[in-house]
Chains A and B, each alone.
Chain A
Amino acid sequence: DQQVKQNSPSLSVQEGRISILNCDYTNSMFDYFLWYKKYPAEGPTFLISISSIKDKNEDGRFTVFLNKSAKHLSLHIVPSQPGDSAVYFCAAAGDSGNTPLVFGKGTRLSVIA
C-alpha cells in the first residue's frame, strides 16, 4: 500500500546546479505535504511544506511545487550544495496536517563538488 511514492532511490547533481526530487501520492484525502531531510544517525529534519490550497511554496534555496490534478509534488533545490547530500523524504497528511504522516521511501541526493 504505497500511498506516497518516491520512484527515484538516488540522484546525483553537480554543485551549483538544480536538484529536483519528485513524489507522487494516491490518496486524494491528503491536503498537507512535507519534505524532510535525513542524515545518517539523525532523525528527519523538517525542510518545507505546502498545503493543498497552494501550488508553490518557497523558502530560500528550497521550493516545493504541488500539482493536485496529477497528485504530484516536487522539491527544487537551487543552487545545490555539498551539504545538501542526504536522504530526502516526502510525507503527506490529511485533515490539514492533523492525521499521521505517511512517508515515501526516500531519495538519496548526492551533490558532487
Chain B
Amino acid sequence: EPEVTQTPSHQVTQMGQEVILRCVPISNHLYFYWYRQILGQKVEFLVSFYNNEISEKSEIFDDQFSVERPDGSNFTLKIRSTKLEDSAMYFCASSEQQLNQPQHFGDGTRLSIL
C-alpha cells in the first residue's frame, strides 16, 4: 500500500539553527499538509499546499516557517531559526483531489531543539 515517507525520523538541532524536514507524499495525491504534535498535546495543523502554493496556514505558521515542493516528489518544511518551543513531532500528510478523501500521514519527524 502506498505511504507517506518522512525523513529524518529524529532531528536534533541547536536553537537558532535552520532545519529542513522532508516528506515524500503518496504519488497521485495533490494536497499536502504539515501538522505538529507537541508532547502531551493535540495534533495541530500548520499549513496546507496545493497547486504549488500555500492554500491555508494556521497562526503557528509564522515567518519562521516555509514550505516548498522542490521537485515532483518531495515536500519540505523549513524552520529558519529554531526556538525551544519548536520541539515537537512533525507529521506530513497528503490526500487525493476529491471530496471526502482522508489524509494519510507519515510516521513523523521528532524535532528536538537544544
Contacts and interface: CB of A to CB of B under 8 A. Distances in A.
A48 to B, nearest CB: 9
Interface string B13-50: 00000000000000000010101000001111100100
Contacts of A51: 100
Contacts, number: 56
B107 A100 contact: no
A108 B1 CA distance: 26
Contact of B100 (A45, A96, A101, A103): A96
A101 B106 contact: no
A67 interface: no
Query: Chain A interface: which size bin?
Result: 20 to 34
Interface in A19-54: 32, 34, 36, 41-46, 49, 51
A51 B43 CA distance: 21
If over half of A's interface residues share one DSSP class (helix, strand or loop), that class is named, otherwise mixed; here it is mixed
B102 interface: yes
B30 to A, nearest CB: 11
Interface residues of B, number: 26
Contact of B42 (A32, A45, A97, A105): A105
A102 interface: yes
Nearest to B92: A43
Interface string A75-113: 000000000000001010000111111111110000000
B67 to A, nearest CB: 14
Contacts of A99: 56
Closest 8 A/B residue pairs (Cβ): A43-B105, A100-B45, A96-B99, A103-B43, A46-B102, A43-B107, A44-B105, A97-B100
15 contacts: A43-B105, A43-B106, A44-B43, A46-B103, A46-B105, A96-B100, A97-B100, A98-B99, A100-B45, A101-B35, A101-B93, A103-B44, A104-B42, A105-B42, A106-B42
